[in-house]
Chains A and B, each alone.
Chain A
Amino acid sequence: MTFAGYTPAEKRTRTTFLALMWSLSYPGRSFQLSAEQAPFELIAETLLDLETTYCLSEKTTIHHAAQSGARMLPPERAAYHFYEQVTEQDLKSLAQASVGTMPFPDEGATLILGGGIDSGARFELTGPGVNGSIQVQIDRIPSEFWILRERACQFPLGWDIFIVDERRVIGLPRSVKMKRTG
């Protein structure tokens, strides 16, 4: 039996999906995104379709989001939140992101945040997917955000977060504990 190969878009989104999946499986470990498109375009192309919802920060423009058929909703109702840069003003809308409910923890939002990896604030990660502990450095995210995250992530409730720095992405699932160390 023969199977059709991947179309360029399928290949691209498959590669991106694998990077995102592995980054949540191994919190704090960085994975590489394709250089074919801007990273936020790649992620939006991969995650959004007709049946998903999203919101964008004021400074974020993603062409794929508009083309996907996904609905743009207010922050409290959106499943995916895209912030190419996170500013102090963005914290108010980020704080409204859904953490899910006990019957439906899967309704917790996924945040895709532009930031720096391997520079800035130091964190020690522990929890599922981490062998003992791992040290990560994350830059260009306001420190108040991490307080919001700690309040939001009461497993099984919380946010799943991707930090995107150029072609690299790290995942911070709601299940991982983050301790500021510097």
Chain B
Amino acid sequence: MANHDADVIVVGSGSLGSLVALQIAKRGKDVLILEAGPVTPDWKITENFRTSPRKDNLNAPFGDIPFAPNSYTPGYVDFDADVAWIPGTLRIAGGTSRHWTGVAWRFLPEEMKLKSNFGIGRDWAFTYDELEPFYTQAEYQVGVNGADTSDYSGHNRGAPYPPRSKPYPLPPEAKPYALQRFQMRAAERGYRWDHAPNVRLSKPYAGRPACVGNNICNPNCPIGAKHSGIHDLEAAQKAGARLQTKAVVDRLEKDSQGRITAVSYLDYEGKRTRLTAKVYVIAAHGFETPKLLLMNELANSSGMVGQNLMMHPTLSMSFYADEPLWVGRGQYLHGANLQHRLRDDRASVSGGFYQFMNHNPALSTAQALFKEGGMLGEHLDSELRLRASQFMSVQLLLEDLPDPSNAVTVNTSFRDKLGQPGIKVHYRLQDYSKAALPRTIDDFANWVQAMNAVPQEVPGATWYNQHHIMGTVIMGTDPKDSVVDADLRCHDHENLYLVTTGVFPSVSCVNPTLTGMALAMRAGQHIAQQV
């Protein structure tokens, strides 16, 4: 066996890549992480956000690097979709979780066996019970606030669900005043608001301070109370993992048996470096991972690389209540209504959950006022103040199903400064998701009545999506219709692993990151045993 540059090379220093590296490095193996972007500390991102005029652009504070474009770099993502948002992805040390909101749900056991339970979509290659210990490990690694008593299926059966082997590491934070008022006034119509587990600390944890309510969870928590991939990267480095930044990986080599033999990257001067390892991990999120595989014609005997894109179709709704609620105090997201998450009609209607949006409403109310026009001076000021105090908005996140025609491909009409191509997205909403609209309109009407409110945005006029990229390197037991197996190993390459939310065969309706982290913990333990 030739001398290798490392036992394991991980492409991508985001939360998932770093957690895999941490798991492997902790067991005494030599891990090298390759990251396309540079290291930039949180304080610098805060500075960039404050001085940026593009406050509604999640990626803006992280810069447009011409050698490693992000998903908002003009022209990089060719987005052909009937949903509104290009998911914001980053190439920087710490990865896209540098700007995640920090909602840390677990999937339900039923949702991981969608095909078996409801006859639709696909099943995971293992059960919730097998993932559970890794959910717990991930929660303790990143610091999750949660309510140990909540039934997160939405059925309010009086016992915590899904099952957990250990309590949450941190208690839930208090519900903000606005949510308390909403909860009180909507309760008589049968609505319940649960605490939404999250990584915005309610108490100091692992050297990070508790949240003080700066209310800019995206793009960046200015005090590090919210977890980000930079914390996982630091933990991995502390455990001995090495980091090479400004390393844009574009090539993987394989031998006749399909084993990967080398990975190579370009630095920002265009200089190529070739490296070898026993095991290779691609942890480059749901866009870049399939792009890299497609560019190198790897892992694709099933033809599924890049296909089955799922992004959590989303409906947004908002209103002005008849009383000041002052949303924007505390963190971005606190409460969730889960009553439609797990219903009997799942075979025909997507599961969904509502999240209470606690963002500072100044920007959105001002934008609406300016659109209406006709207001100036003091009148404008007082109207803005009034509306900002009464504003409330809610998002419904919905499940989508794996469909090969919703896909990520290589965008060859774009070339970055290193000559690398961009990404092409094709996505169409499914009837399965759309079927949730009527009940959403009912709920919204109820809330408007309960709050004696004036509607601002009515659900359904625009379909949105989340910054969640799933399904693009799908997991399964059959190599003919999936890319990776239960251990996240490529069916086609025994020493190539894909650690990304792209492997999800079903996506629930809840935010995917914690599940991705649990997968990374699980894969890391497995890979460490292989080298």
Asked if A and B bind, the verdict is no
Q: Which residues on B are within 8 Å of A, measured CB to CB?
A: none
